[in-house]
Amino acid sequence: MALQLYIGNKNYSSWSMRPWVLMKQAGIAFDEFMVRFDSFAADSVFKKTLRGISPVGKVPVLVHDGLVVWDTLAITEYLAERFPEQQLWPLDPQARARARSVCAEMHSGFGSLRSHCPMNIEASLPDIGRLIWRDQPGVRADLARLCGLWGELLAAQPDKMPDGSGPLLFGRFSIADAFFAPVCMRLKTYALPLPADMAAYVERVAALPGVQAWIQDALAEHDFLNFEEPYRLGR
Residue 50 and residue 57 in contact, taking contact as beta carbons nearer than 8 Å? yes
**121 membership: H or E segment, kind and range:** none
Residue-wise pLDDT tens digits, 80-132: 999 999 999 999 999 999 999 999 999 999 999 999 999 999 999 999 999 99
pLDDT > 90: what percent of the chain?
90
Neighbours of 138 (CB within 10 A): 14
Sequence spans of domains, the chain: 4-86, 93-219
User: Over 90: is that where the pLDDT of 235 sits?
Assistant: no
Of the candidate ranges 70-79, 157-166, 214-223, the one whose mean pLDDT is the lowest: 157-166
- Rounded Cα distance between 214 and 58, Å, is 19
CB 62 within 8 A of CB 19: yes
H or E stretch at 69: strand 67-69
Banded model confidence at residue 226, pLDDT cuts 50, 70, 90: confident
CATH number of 4-86: 3.40.30.10
Q: Which residues contact 146 (CB under 8 A, 6 or more apart)?
A: 110, 113, 183, 198
Q: What is the pTM of this model?
A: 0.95
Pick from 168, 132, 166, 163: which is nearest to 150 by CA? 168
CATH class (in words) of the domain with range 93-219: mainly alpha
